[in-house]
Structure 1
Amino acid sequence: MEQVIASADTTDGVYSLEGWQHGGKWFSYEGHAIFSRMAGHGEPLVLIHGFPTASWDWSRVWPMLVQQHSVLTLDMLGFGFSDKPMAYPYSIEDQADLLQGWIEGLGLGTVHFMAHDYGCSVGQELLAREQEGVLQFHIASACFLNGALFPEVHNPLLIQKLLRSRLGGLISRGLSRRAFERNFRRLFGSQNPPDRQDMEDFWHLLTYNNGRGILHHLIQFMEERRCHRNRWVGALQKARQPMRLISGTADPVSGAAMARRYRELIPEPDVVSLRNVGHYPHFECPWDVFSAYRDFRKGMQ
């Protein structure tokens, strides 16, 4: 099944970054402070953000989702307002431990999740764990947005390749705002690019708590995706719960090619394609993402 949507824009209910932070709470993981937010009523929906940003990515779709769901999100370790320890073995598996422990600690028996980019790999790992019977909760559905679900068709930017190289530490610590903006803007579609305040906020999240100093550690997830490719792709192929891919087709990193690969490898693939939308569909066209997700959940009833 596939749908194609021409993007529409809405900015109603957008949270400022300051307001987003003030509305959150912190909890401890391995001795480190983790920023989280929870709101709404209904079945629990866990939002899992991408690299190199944070849970604030969801701020534009958040007001719509909380009308129908109990929505939970956090900044993973090393991201956003959470702690960013320098000497830490960052990994997708550890971030999945963080999410799993958080959900189980809240006593949630069933959750849905929506994941983007880096968060898609975390979601795949959680699906694999459920299939192994090691989770204390059930994943009722999974929705993915523009992530490298299949590493063989992932097309990283040059800056991402450099961060993974032997020079990664130098490039990470020396990353200027101008270089960040130049590369980050390439990820967005032409219709709703980030404005000046958006870029200010993204930069603030990146540099908060000396975030530039660990980018070269965080980005090693690209190698993890290759190493765990069979496990994580297999988790998608063996999944019994409903799944949907919402794809911004103008994304140069994990857009149209990723959606094609999803249709090739996933049984009865459910794909919604958003035209003229880049790597951050939930930020660029929140109403379209909400509509696609709402229809997905209605289809489960």
Structure 2
Amino acid sequence: MTEQISCFPSAEYHESSSARYWNDVPYGSTRLNLLDICVPKRQPEDASQAIWLVYIHGGAWRDPLIDRKSFKTALDMLLEDDQPHNIAGFVSVDYRLSPYPSHPILPSSPSDDSRNSQHPEHLDDILGALLFLSTEAGRYILCGHSCGATLAMQATALLNGGRRGTRPPVALLGMEGIYDLNALVAKHSHPAYREFITGAFGEDEGTWITASQLCCELQKWQGNALLIHSINDELVDMQQTDSAVEKLVIQGFTRTTAAPSSVKNDGRRVSKIVIDCMHDEVWEQGTELAKAIRSVTDESWIPNTSSATC
């Protein structure tokens, strides 16, 4: 991985006592096609069990103030943890955003090609980032918060179908995700919900349905999914996570309340965990995000079968 990154002189490199960092690594043509990479100096004892964690930020597909740097608080907590781990590296990804001309601090401009995107362009960027990383990163887990969880699930569905030449993740971690666009707008009467959904997916509600269905099209995926939602999430209702769990169960996933057995873990497990914080406190405080990442990167969550990575 480090040899590949060193080919990009624009990447900012620095070290700390615990990790090596490559920031602002370009993977595409716009100013938001950037990712940050962190490689802990303390690597997994068993290299064959090494896992990369790829984080996708939220922000309703449009908020310029919630970006790849929002992962830093949780990342710092994970690096300070001296417990044994399987994480070979962390990646936090930026992607093109949808228009937000009414943003109070950084309104979007029609001339900015990085902030006038619509589905599936956000998803295309995530797939492009994963393709960029695929040669060196090996096995990985996709993690996303809010609309980042949406993108993580959609990307897994497409990659499991053999698209883009990139293997799917071995596990998914969705934090307070949006998995049913139509239900979200129907549930919340505030006009901001319809505004950001139409900004990201257009006016045609049929497109919303198709994009939502893609979230849970994981019939053949052999990985495990950990879906987490806060009982005090004031922006995204828990029914989003509940409905996603039910859809996966219908597709043959086994519902579990604990980590799959490391001995008999053949994949296709889904678990829901309830936490207690506000929506953005997941990444602002970092505690719950770091805790969830520790759980999902544990060996017990990684399927024994190699088919999850084919």
TM-score by length of 1: 0.63
Map of 2:217 onto structure 1 = 234
Map of 1:288 onto structure 2 = 288
**Alpha-carbon contact 1:255-1:279 (below 8 Å) kept:** no
Map 1:134-173; keep pairs closer than 5 Å: 134=163, 135-154=165-184, 155-156=187-188, 158-161=190-193, 163=195
Map of 1:262 onto structure 2 = 244
- C-alpha distance in 2 between matches for 1:105 and 1:283: 25
Map of 1:120 onto structure 2 = 149
Shift of 1:45: 0.8
* Change in 2 beyond 3 A, CA 1:104/1:23: closer
- C-alpha distance in 2 between matches for 1:271 and 1:140: 17
- C-alpha distance in 1 between matches for 2:91 and 2:288: 20
Bigger helix fraction: 1
% same residue = 12
**Alpha-carbon contact 1:60-1:282 (below 8 Å) kept:** no
* Change in 2 beyond 3 A, CA 1:257/1:162: closer
Residue in structure 1 matching 2:140, options 111, 136, 144: 111
- C-alpha distance in 2 between matches for 1:65 and 1:221: 41
Question: 2:272 is aligned with what amino acid?
Answer: V
Of stretches 266-275 and 279-288 in structure 1, the one that deviates more from structure 2 is: 279-288
Residue in structure 2 matching 1:132, options 144, 152, 161: 161
- C-alpha distance in 1 between matches for 2:287 and 2:141: 19
Map of 1:49 onto structure 2 = 57
Shift of 1:156: 4.4
* Change in 2 beyond 3 A, CA 1:125/1:91: farther
Shift of 1:295: 2.4
Shift of 1:160: 1.5
Map of 1:274 onto structure 2 = 275
**Relative contact order, CA 8 A, sep 6+: which one is greater?**
1
**Alpha-carbon contact 2:35-2:92 (below 8 Å) kept:** yes
**Alpha-carbon contact 1:92-1:221 (below 8 Å) kept:** no
- C-alpha distance in 2 between matches for 1:55 and 1:117: 13
* Change in 2 beyond 3 A, CA 1:102/1:251: same
SS at match of 1:251: coil
- C-alpha distance in 1 between matches for 2:196 and 2:168: 35
Aligned residues, how many? 227
Which ranges of structure 1 fall in alignment gaps of 5 or more residues?
1-21, 166-215
Question: 2:222 is aligned with what amino acid?
Answer: R
- C-alpha distance in 1 between matches for 2:130 and 2:181: 28
Map of 2:297 onto structure 1 = 297
* Change in 2 beyond 3 A, CA 1:234/1:281: farther
Shift of 1:143: 0.3
